[in-house]
Structure 1
Amino acid sequence: MFGSSVPVVEVSTVPADGYLLDVREADEWRAGHAPSAVHIPLGELAQRAAEVPRDRQVYVVCRVGGRSAQAVRALNDAGWTAANVAGGMSAWALAGRDMTSDTGADPAVV
C-alpha cells in the first residue's frame, strides 16, 4: 500500500531512549501509550513538525501502522529520518513493552 519507500522497524528494535512519535488520536493516546512517546496526532503533524527533532532517528507509531506510514513518508520527504514501527501500538503491547494510560485504568490499545 505504501511501497518500499517507507522504512519499517520491528518493535523490539526501538531503543528505550529512541524518539518515539505517536500519531494516534487523543482518545487512543489517553487509553495507552509508551511512557516516553511524544504525541502529535497525524492531522496536526504538518503544523507541528518543527517539534520533531531533525538530528536523530524518529520512530513513528499508530495503532497498527497505516497512519504512521503516512507520517513517515511525509517526514522523510521533508528531510527527517523516520521509520514506521511495524504493527504499531498493537504490536508494542503484544511484545510487552512498557505502556501507561492517562485514564487511571490499565493501559490498552483502542
Structure 2
Amino acid sequence: MEVAKVPDDAYLLDVRELDEWEAGHAPRAIHIPLSQLGARASEVPTGEDVFVICRSGARSASVVMAFNNAGWKTANVSGGMHAWVAAGRPMVSESGGEPYVA
C-alpha cells in the first residue's frame, strides 16, 4: 500500500523497535515492536483494516504475511517510515524534539 493511500484515521501498527519509535513515528500509530508482536498479537484488531509500518517496509511485509495467514486484514505500508517522511506525512517524537527516522 502506498503511503498516500493510507487513510488519516487508519489503524497504523508500527512494528519498529523502541529506539526507532522514540526517534519519530506517525502521530496516531500504535506501537508494538516486532520482538513483542507474538505475545501481543491479541491487541491488534481483527475487525478492521490494519496498516503495518516499519523503517523500510521489510519487517512490516513479513508481519503482514503472517497476520493475513492468521485471518487479519492487514496491508504493508510500502517504503515504511522513509516513504512516510518523503510523502510529507506528519511525525512526532517521544522526546518532543525534531522527529526523524532512526
User: TM-score, structure 2 length as denominator?
Assistant: 0.98
Which residue of 67, 79, 82 corresponds with 2:74?
82
Read off the aligned partner of 1:76 and give its amino acid letter: N
Shift in Å, 1:105:
1.4
- Matching of residue 71 in structure 1 with residue 55 in structure 2: no
How far apart in 1 are the matches of 2:80 and 2:92? Answer: 15
Match of 1:41 in 2: 33
How far apart in 2 are the matches of 1:69 and 1:55? Answer: 20
Shift in Å, 1:84:
0.4
Shift in Å, 1:89:
0.3
Shift in Å, 1:38:
0.2
Match of 1:101 in 2: 93
Identity value in percent: 60
- How many residues align? The count is 102
Structure 2, unaligned stretches of length 5 or more?
A: none
Match of 2:20 in 1: 28
Match of 2:42 in 1: 50
Q: Secondary structure at the match of 1:106?
A: coil
CA RMSD of aligned residues (A): 0.6
How far apart in 1 are the matches of 2:15 and 2:8? Answer: 18
Which residue of 9, 14, 17 corresponds with 2:6?
14
User: TM-score, structure 1 length as denominator?
Assistant: 0.91
Displaced runs of 4+ in structure 1, greater than 2 A?
none
Shift in Å, 1:103:
1.7
How far apart in 2 are the matches of 1:73 and 1:49? Answer: 14
Shift in Å, 1:104:
2.3
How far apart in 2 are the matches of 1:47 and 1:77? Answer: 17
Read off the aligned partner of 2:64 and give its amino acid letter: V
Q: Secondary structure at the match of 1:83?
A: strand
Match of 1:3 in 2: none
